Structure 1
């Protein structure tokens, strides 16, 4: 059996683990909000209608930041509809997902939910059907202490202290032809600049995310980022990246190797941003906000035009298997390995819609397979990300050619070494980790998400079919940490420094 090898040395690092890498996404789409995070009358619901079972699972998952309210939804959203007494809020047509939006859940409910979850908001503003003025007004409502029209309205609504929202997304996927109020790169770049300028005058402390391409496969990828940033580079802190990885389109090995595409996208966006910085003579370095990512059989979705008007319909409620968990684990590893330039990442979405958490109205909530690699990584990726020098056997894919069977990252905090590793291959993979730079490593543990049946899933009837399990056999011997990674698996191998 061919083995994979890693070399770790604490003198060589990528950068600190950014806690915002473990973000999620709540959009008014399908059942993510209604009967997902919010269901008045549910047996676990609190006085605000928030499902406590989902709150507890979100905490367990380790979510640190949540993007809201969209997504495509935000480009037709009027934020004023979602504040104030719920009985006075209008019902609207959401053009993004052909849904009837009651606005029973809005900014106040979202912030109350976040307090319970113990995460920070990543708020998006509508730059599709609206613009500079409405973004400025929302920021004033949310962050200004009082004594002005919009801040006093927040106080009238029962919220005396400002929300203090730090991260703001300037629209969503504005290059997409599906987007309500889509723009050319030049149009959007100018609008982003003017919106950012106005928002910073209200609150100079905020961090702003400009819209990058909606995916790497769109024809304008790269040129969009370049044009947008030439207009607004000095006014923003991040450029966004979005991507979904399809389990149906293409070969299975290519799906398992999806992280190859994520890595190329991150490096392409960084290169474009740095090119603009050089062109402008700017010493500032932008970071990437990878604020939509997940595995999704997108090729099976017929698009919003085929949907009937409904309130909180069941759409793209995908069930994930063990292979999906391995892919999600590899994507998390890729984000960690770019922690020097990726500052925010949000898995889309949190509940029901291509989600790690599933719920039933009036019924239970449960963890999907993809919940587990996220929870393990969020819990144990701490301190500094070390540079991983790896060699591994390769596997053929139609999409990417020959790719390594192993993808891995390592973090070090005080006396704890954590190695996150995915075996993308169909055979067990012996792993040897050279710890000469960490001679005090002693105790060891190995947790895996793997099953003999890689199509195994968690369901309402069998919610614990796939769970992390401890493996025996990992050892440290002669400065070498040795473990065997099961086929198609996500793994956490840890050592303690004495």
Structure 2
């Protein structure tokens, strides 16, 4: 059996972990909202129509922040359609997903849901068909205490106190031709700059100083993936326009298992290393613009759409249906392996990645699946997210490994993929490790400067079938298992990882 040695020292810190990297995403797409988080009449629904069984699962995941309302949906959405008495709200065609949007669920419902779930909202403003004034007015609706026409609309709709939303996405994937109101980098950069200025002023921010509600965290739309012909020039140009006004640059990336690939398994397992390369390129782009602007400000990354997305079948739902079954991928154990490695990548880049959103949270390429009026189940990807989000905190420590590598379409990838975190206050070390080799591996961790260590929990996910899945009738086919605690001797922890 091959042996891998990994060295980590508590003093070799990559950065502090912002808990917002464990965020997620709810878009008006498919059954994410309707029949997902919101289903009046469901046996577990509360007086607001929020499904209690879904809320319980989300709380298991310990999600701190959720992005809303899109996504591609955002670029054709008027936030005013989703406020006020439900019977007076317009029914619209959603041109992003060829669905009918009833607007039963809108800004106020989302804010109520966040309060019930104990989640911070990340709101997005429309930069496709929307104006910079529309963006400022949504900030006013959410954050201004009252006394103006727009803020008093919120009060009349039942929310006397402002919501105090801090995180705001300025548009979505504006580099994509599929986006309603697609713009060039220069067009979008100029529009995003003016939107950011108005949003900050509406929040009471003057001359760079925080307003009464503090300072907004503004996220500008970066590349929708690194295969775009405009990447990374798009990001450079947008940052050159907006650097002084924004806090985070968004990035999106989905990976998939492709049977048509020359090395299907190896290429898929290389996703986490490719994700790391993508982050590295944007990190360098940000640093270039910072130097060019002669700025001391550090702009971070919001990886606000990431996941595994395998399109397994063509759309078979009729056009213009309300809450159609769309993108309801069922995740395999193999997907779970790659997913965990992607989470490790986020942790290992925590010095620059300050927010991230698993896309999405319920029913749509999601860790939680529901039946209308019925059951739920946890997908395979639910388990690594739950384990890491509930245990990895504090700082990420740099790991030095002698792991061997394997070839992929992205270049070389590591057979052993790991992230090591250290929470000094809790005196906890968390190790997340994936075995991408096609055989069992022995891995030893030499853990220096952490003080006296003992194992308190050992969770393992494994399966003899890479394509094993969970479902409504077999909800616990692939889950985490508690294993016998390993010993830590002379700062060394040794694990045997199954293939």
Per the normalisation by structure 1, the TM-score is 0.95
Aligned equivalent of 1:330: 341
Conserved 8 A contact 1:474-1:484: no
Distance 1:338 1:450 in 2: 26
Q: CA deviation at 1:439?
A: 4.5
Aligned-partner SS, 1:10: strand
Aligned-partner SS, 1:133: helix
Conserved 8 A contact 2:457-2:485: no
Aligned-partner SS, 1:443: coil
Distance 2:498 2:9 in 1: 26
Aligned equivalent of 1:246: 256
Q: CA deviation at 1:442?
A: 2.4
Structure 1 residues 68-467: aligned runs within 5 Å: 68-203=68-203, 204=205, 205-248=215-258, 250=261, 251-298=264-311, 300=312, 308-397=319-408, 399-413=409-423, 414-467=426-479
Q: CA deviation at 1:39?
A: 0.4
Distance 1:409 1:436 in 2: 15
Q: CA deviation at 1:411?
A: 1.0
Conserved 8 A contact 2:315-2:326: no
Distance 2:378 2:27 in 1: 19
Distance 1:436 1:138 in 2: 50
Q: CA deviation at 1:451?
A: 1.2
- How far does the alpha carbon of each residue in 1:438-461 deviate from its partner, in whole angstroms, 9 at most, with x for none? 351123532112111121111010
- How far does the alpha carbon of each residue in 1:302-346 deviate from its partner, in whole angstroms, 9 at most, with x for none? 589x96221110011000011111111111110001111000000
* Structure 2 residues not aligned, in runs of 5+: 206-214
Q: CA deviation at 1:426?
A: 1.8
Distance 1:15 1:332 in 2: 15
Distance 2:46 2:378 in 1: 21
Distance 1:142 1:289 in 2: 22
Distance 2:415 2:318 in 1: 39
Conserved 8 A contact 1:3-1:393: no
* Structure 1 residues not aligned, in runs of 5+: 488-498
Segment drifting more, 134-143 vs 440-449: 440-449
Q: CA deviation at 1:55?
A: 0.4
Conserved 8 A contact 2:419-2:432: yes
Segment drifting more, 167-176 vs 83-92: 83-92
Conserved 8 A contact 2:455-2:485: no
Conserved 8 A contact 2:28-2:69: yes
After superposition, the CA RMSD in angstroms is: 1.4
Aligned equivalent of 1:24: 24
Distance 1:415 1:161 in 2: 39
Distance 1:287 1:301 in 2: 36
Distance 2:403 2:325 in 1: 42
Distance 2:479 2:5 in 1: 27
Distance 1:307 1:97 in 2: 11
Aligned-partner SS, 2:93: strand
Aligned equivalent of 1:493: none
Distance 2:485 2:392 in 1: 23
Conserved 8 A contact 2:273-2:414: no
Conserved 8 A contact 2:5-2:446: yes
Conserved 8 A contact 1:387-1:410: yes
Distance 2:457 2:442 in 1: 15
Conserved 8 A contact 1:32-1:351: yes
Distance 1:228 1:384 in 2: 30
Aligned equivalent of 1:484: 496
Aligned-partner SS, 2:406: strand
Conserved 8 A contact 2:455-2:486: no
Aligned-partner SS, 1:319: coil
Aligned-partner SS, 1:195: helix
Q: CA deviation at 1:429?
A: 1.5
Conserved 8 A contact 2:392-2:430: yes
Per the normalisation by structure 2, the TM-score is 0.95
